[in-house]
Amino acid sequence: MAAFTAKDVADLRQRTGAGMMECKKALEENEGDIEKAIEWLRKKGIAKAEKRAGRAASEGKIVALTSPDGRTGVLVELNSETDFVARNETFGQTAYQIANLVHDHKETNGVVSAAEDSPIMAIAFGESGSLSEALKMLTGTIGENIVLRRYARLSGEGAVGSYVHHNGKVAALVEIGGLSGDAGQQLARTIAEHVAAGVPAVPVAVQREDVPSEVVERERRIFTEQAAASGKPENIVKKMVEGRIDKFYKEVTLIDQPWVRDDSKSIRDLLKAAGSEVTIKRFARFQMGQE
């Protein structure tokens, strides 16, 4: 049996909401593999859904900006050790300065989930040399570890919109095609607000075809085992599983989700109302402390 630590148990509890003893049992049964333990708990009905808490929660600030023409948008997550520092004016100014740096770095196109080793860290920043050096200097000045965790830059021929929750802990960026100008930016912002809300679930992909096959197969395994436990005939179990998979797609596929401001409409309906050629190209969502 693979060894696991108390921290592994704590992480599993945070990600699933299951009790300590259930988490210990899940890790024992799955040789310390957290991902397999999550699936084991869900099959047992102990964990309804993974909370996706990922790494331990950090404090900090998430900022966004878009270009005047609305075709480029940026998200930046800058971490600190305490919320007190995250509310510091210098800290906030640094986050926005980094966002401008990312905006001007045209080589970036998409999400950079691990900023520490990215090329942007070597770019000149202020009077401190590189961005990497500037963050080290800020760490020494403030007295807390200051880390650029991740960033995103989306740019295209349509429009990009961003939304940042008032607490600076959740933000989203959406790029649409087939519509530009003020109308395009407004639609992209509306959808970004929906993505940030994470209701009914944080979207995994824009459309069904983009949902990773391994995610679908994991859900299928869980649903199959749960349905089989009902004792119903195999043909009924199969229908139950397919029904659950269809519901799962509707929950995690962005265009199929009910709009957070009016659940009588889907995000697909918003796109249709804007024009037959309007599409969602891609999106990014950052939440403090989550992957």
Cα end-to-end distance, the chain, whole Å:
28
Residue 177 lies in a domain: yes
State residue 81's pLDDT score: 87
State residue 126's pLDDT score: 81
Q: Give Cβ neighbours of residue 92 (< 8 Å, ≥ 6 apart).
A: 61, 63
Confidence check: pLDDT of 227 > 60: yes
Q: Say if residues 179 and 278 touch (Cβ distance below 8 Å).
A: yes
Rounded distance between C-alpha atoms, residue 281 and residue 291, angstroms = 21
Residue 33 lies in a domain: yes
How would residue 47 be classed by pLDDT, with cut points 50, 70 and 90? low
Residues 10 and 99 in one domain: no
Chain centroid to CA 226: 28
Residue 54 lies in a domain: no
Residue 48 lies in a domain: no
Between 139 and 65, name the one with better pLDDT: 65
Q: Say if residues 60 and 77 touch (Cβ distance below 8 Å).
A: yes
Neighbour-count burial of 101, counting CB atoms closer than 10 A to its CB (0-12 exposed, 13-18 middle, 19+ buried): buried
Rounded distance between C-alpha atoms, residue 163 and residue 286, angstroms = 11
Residue 261 lies in a domain: no
What is the extent of the structural domain holding 79? 59-204+266-287
State residue 76's pLDDT score: 98
Residues 231 and 273 in one domain: no
The per-residue pLDDT for range 105-147, each reduced to its tens digit, is 999 999 999 998 899 999 999 876 899 999 988 888 888 889 9
Residues 217 and 199 in one domain: no
Closest by CA to 289, choosing from 168, 152, 200, is 168
Residue 139 lies in a domain: yes
Average pLDDT, the chain: 90
Residue 74 lies in a domain: yes
Considering just the CA atoms, what is the radius of gyration of the chain in Å?
Answer: 21
How would residue 48 be classed by pLDDT, with cut points 50, 70 and 90? low
pTM assigned to the model: 0.78
Residue 53 lies in a domain: no
Query: Which CATH number fits the domain that encloses residue 98?
Result: 3.30.479.20
State residue 54's pLDDT score: 36
How would residue 53 be classed by pLDDT, with cut points 50, 70 and 90? very low
Residues 180 and 130 in one domain: yes
Closest by CA to 188, choosing from 111, 99, 94, 254, is 254
